[in-house]
Structure 1
Amino acid sequence: MTMKYLALGAVLALTPLGAQAEGKLALYNWGDYINPAVLEKFTEETGIEVSLDTYGSNEEMLAKIQAGATGYDIVFPSVHMQDIMSHLDLLAETDINEDPAFANIDPQFLRAKTDPEGKFCLPYAFGNVGIVYNKALAGDITGWKDFFALGDAGKKIIMLDDLREVIGVGHIMNGTSVNSTDEAEVEKAADYIIAHKKGISAFSYDSIPLVTSGDVAAAQWYVGANIFVNEHPDTLGYIIPEEGATMYQEDICVLKTAPNFDNAVKFLKFYLKPEIAALNVEQQMNGTPNTPAQALIPKEIADNKTIYPPQDVLDKLQIFEDLGRDLQLYNSEWTRIKTAQ
């Protein structure tokens, strides 16, 4: 996925990563994908000092871990990346599912094929990837067809710098699965994007300021765009495209190399508290797998149908799966998209 919200490289606390240190915890998460108040409360309750580094995509995170970054305790992979990391033996078994408060987790969010019981990771947050748009420039758009029409008409549109998300839109428009491993289907999905590439001004995560300013008419982005829609309700809007979209879910996982394993497990248990999960949603505007937390969420979030969609919309959302070696099909097509003139 990508950078879920704001600029990368933010560091919550300048705690050096490295050797085991009592009272420390090092998180590696998507950019601005956790409410700082959650981390502050954790420190208040436990005395454990938290540091936070951020990444922009699952692949970036995995590459850094595989390159030998051993100072991190916790990562927040998407479900398909959790499966990949499990196959690579990078994740620690936490037995978080044995905590009595694990009953707070809706079982439908135990999506990882490698962790169907939740022995390793804790379901964290879920959402969808739709379209954030400038109302004055984009008008009343309803889906991907309208989105690409803006670009074809000479207005600027931006897509994410993420091969699965971009090619996934091609699949959605062609009526094929975002997890297809059929070579012809993947090629046709890429063809759809290439056919509209002249109207795509960039593949980027940094689109919100440009859409807000009116430099860009619309952008493929995450449901967390509602944060900015709330700040600029007369300027911005966010939709789940009527043709369908992708959904994401991230889980909280502890690395096998975690220097502060016990503190990491404490954090997982802390996040099982409904009031903590609700506090995160309040600032992040994502869905939470914590069932009791949903009663604590502000009404304007709980009633927002782009955050908590009705069932008929949910049925059109597709979640990425680990494709194994077949991911190379997407890598090849992504190169073709990026280099197409």
Structure 2
Amino acid sequence: MLDLITRPLRHAVIGGTLIFSIGAGTAQAAEELRLYNWGDYINPEVLTRFTAETGIKVGLDTYGSNEEMLAKLQAGATGYDIVFPSVHMHDTMAALNLLEKTDINQSPAFKNIDPAYLRAKSDPKGEYCMPYAWGTVGIFYNKSKVSKPIETWTDFFNEARAGKKVAMLDDMREVLAVGLISNGKSVNTTSADDLKVAQDWLLERKPLISAFSYEVVPMVQSGDVVAAQYFVGALMYVKQDPANLTYVIPKEGATMYQEDMCVLKTAPNKANAKRFMEFFLRPEIASLNTIQQTNGTPNGEALKLLPAELKDNPAANPPAEVKAKLQIFNDLGKDLKKYDRAWTRVRTAN
């Protein structure tokens, strides 16, 4: 089994297919590009600009988890050119020989990519994939509905103890990570004892959790749920209602995610895919995506173009001392079964 990380929209999952095209005419393979990305995880304006500049029609399908994407590909889905796996899934797909060597690191604009984001163990130089975006998973809450500002997971659960509703993600790795981080453990531990500590910590608090769900944004907005574990993309909603909503990285630490842009070995439009990667290396394009997504960018030059409200927001671009407490998931291989067992006990406990 593979790691389960579902990161909808970094706001919400949107399934289906979108086509971005300008002009008429019969589509030819050489004039097409098919993307398979997390739900609503790319600014549509990026795609329309690419089509306007190149004439290449872009099709976009979306998924809600790394596993959904991989399973579809392994089941025989063809026609996709670019996928956006998390770093650990980048390594898994490399081991399965699913990725095309693009030599994107030889493109002049690759110098814009901060080498710190070349995290994939299988691709330390960026010969195959390009770092795309990153963010954190913290606490999204309604300031007008809580008894005091939330800064820690203790504060989070104290709201539930006071009779208010809180929610966590329906995500094995992310939820277990809260138990691990809160007890000073690594989110990639393979120790059964460490996982037992996290499992028991969560079981003790499970009666306080009203729901395990990704669909928490409207509930937090309304105040029906006062606080929820969620992605930094929540800043999009904070921007709409800053008087009531906020997003914080818990003081104990948090997980961070990173997705990479990879070309599939079976891609029918490899040249167009490489062209899109080079297009996305441009600072003005990467920043356009980051501003709309309210997350982080591995493109150092794009970072300079972000508005101060995003660039200087410690929730979106945390200072070094906070970043030092962020942990990113690794591919655990067979040891993932230990997480499966702990998660099953947490989810099925009454």
TM > 0.5: yes
In structure 2, which of residues 102, 125, 139 is the aligned counterpart of residue 94 of structure 1?
A: 102
Q: How big is the shift at 1:251?
A: 0.5
Equivalent AA in structure 1 for residue 248 of structure 2: I
Q: Once the 2 structures are TM-superposed, how far is the Cα of residue 104 of structure 1 from its aligned partner? A: 0.8
- Verify the 8 A CA contact 1:9 1:55 in the aligned structure 2: yes
Partner of 1:11: 17
How far the C-alpha of 1:10 sits from its partner, in A, is 4.6
Q: CA deviation at 1:298?
A: 1.0
- Confirm or deny that 1:64 pairs with 2:63: no
Aligned residues of 1:132 and 1:236 also touching (Cα < 8 A):
yes
The correspondence of residues 172-321 of structure 1 with structure 2, limited to 5 A, is: 172-321=181-330
Cα deviation for residue 260 of structure 1 reads 1.5
2:257 alignment partner, SS class = strand
Which one-letter code corresponds to 1:324 in the other structure?
G
1:30 to 25, 33, 38: 38
2:24 aligned partner: none
Deviation at 1:281, TM superposition (A): 1.0
> Matched residues in 1 for 2:99 and 2:170: separation?
26
SS at 1:77 equivalent: coil
Amino acid at match of 2:157: F
Instruction: Read off the aligned partner of 2:250 and give its amino acid letter.
Output: P
Say if 2:14 and 2:62, in contact at 8 Å, map to a contact too. Answer: yes
Q: Cα gap change, 1:322/1:87 in structure 2, threshold over 3 Å: closer, same or farther?
A: same
**C-alpha displacement of 1:188:** 1.6
* TM-superposed deviation, 1:14: 8.1
State which drifts further: 267-276 or 67-76.
Answer: 67-76
What amino acid maps onto 1:208 in structure 2? V
Q: Equivalent of 1:146, from 130, 146, 155?
A: 155
Give the conservation status (yes or no) of the 8 Å contact 1:170–1:188.
Answer: yes
| Residue deviations 1:23-43 (CA, integer Å, cap 9, x gap) | 111111111111111111111
1:48 match: 56
- The whole-number CA distance in structure 2 between the counterparts of 1:278 and 1:56 is 24
2:136 equivalent to 1:122: no
Shift of 1:154: 2.8
Unaligned runs of 5+ in 1: none
Q: Secondary structure at the match of 1:148?
A: helix
**Counterpart for residue 167 of structure 1:** 176
Match of 2:82 among 74, 84, 89: 74
Deviation per CA, 1:159-186, whole angstroms, max 9, x where unpaired? 1121111100000011000000001111
Superimposed CA distance per residue, residues 139-162 of structure 1 (whole angstroms, 9 cap, x where no aligned partner): 311111111222233321111121
Taking a change above 3 Å as real, the CA distance of residues 106 and 114 of structure 1, as seen in their structure-2 partners, is same
- How large is the Cα RMSD of the aligned pairs? 1.5
Whichever residue aligns with residue 14 of structure 2, its letter is L
Normalised by the length of structure 2, the TM-score is 0.93
- Cα deviation for residue 20 of structure 1 reads 7.7
Instruction: Give the number of aligned pairs.
Output: 338
SS of 2:30's equivalent?
coil
| Partner AA of 2:219 in structure 1 | L
In 2: Cα distance, 1:11 partner to 1:159 partner: 29
User: 1:182-218 CA deviation, whole Å, 9 max, x = no partner?
Assistant: 0111122122112111121222111111100111111
Shift in Å at residue 265 of structure 1?
A: 1.0
Distance in 2, Cα, partners of 1:10 & 1:285: 23
Q: 2:16, 2:318 → 1: CA distance?
A: 31
Aligned to 1:22, the other structure's residue is in SS state: helix
Report the 3-state secondary structure (helix = DSSP H, G, I; strand = E; otherwise coil) of the residue aligned with 2:258: strand
CA contact (8 A) 2:179 2:201 kept: yes
Counterpart residue type for residue 239 of structure 1: V
Distance 2:80 2:159 in 1: 42
Q: Percent identity?
A: 59
Q: How many Å separate the matches in 1 of 2:300 and 2:151?
A: 30
CA distance in 2, matches of 1:247, 1:198: 27
| Matched-pair contact (CA < 8 Å) for 1:151–1:198 | no
Runs of 4+ more than 3 Å apart: none
Following superposition, the deviation at residue 234 of structure 1 comes to: 1.4
- Conservation of the 8 A alpha-carbon contact between 1:20 and 1:259: no
